[in-house]
Each structure stands twice: as structure tokens, then as C-alpha cells.
Amino acid sequence: MSVKFFVYLFVTILVIYSLDAVRMNQIFKKDKIYQARLFYFFVAISLIYLVSNFIMDFFTSSQIL
């Protein structure tokens, strides 16, 4: 498998672990569970994409990989 797959997998674990520390309950209105889950999903996907691309670009530009 490619290196990019493992970077995405590793970053996914880190992002989910780090988002677990954020108190999402205080941000959203009461009984808006589906909207909160959808927001959490999009934030997680966005962070995974951004961090993974940053890592891949950093290693590619420094020619470590």
C-alpha cells in the first residue's frame, strides 16, 4: 500500500482522539443531535484532509520520503 494511505490512517486516529477532548455539547442548542454529529463529521474530515496533505507536502518538499 502507499504511504499516503498510512498517513491518512494515522492522522484519522489522531484527529478523532483530539476531537474527543472538545466539548461539542456547549456549542450546539439542546436537542440538535443530528446537526452536531454532522458538524463533528465535517470538522473531522476537514482536519484529516488538511493535516494529511500538510504532512505529505512537507515530506515531499523536504524529500525525506
Residue 25 pLDDT: 75
Query: So what's the pLDDT on residue 64?
Result: 60
Regions of the chain short of the pLDDT cut 70? 64-65
Q: What is the total count of domains within the chain? A: 1
Quote the pLDDT of residue 18: 92
Instruction: State residue 65's pLDDT score.
Output: 53
Name all contacts of 44-52 with Cβ < 8 Å and 24+ positions apart. 44/15, 44/16, 44/19, 47/15, 47/19, 48/8, 48/11, 48/12, 48/15, 51/11, 51/14, 51/15, 52/4, 52/7, 52/8, 52/11
Domain of residue 37 covers 3-62
Residues 6, 65, 54, CA angle at the centre, nearest 5°?
A: 65
The pTM score is: 0.81
Quote the pLDDT of residue 46.
Answer: 96
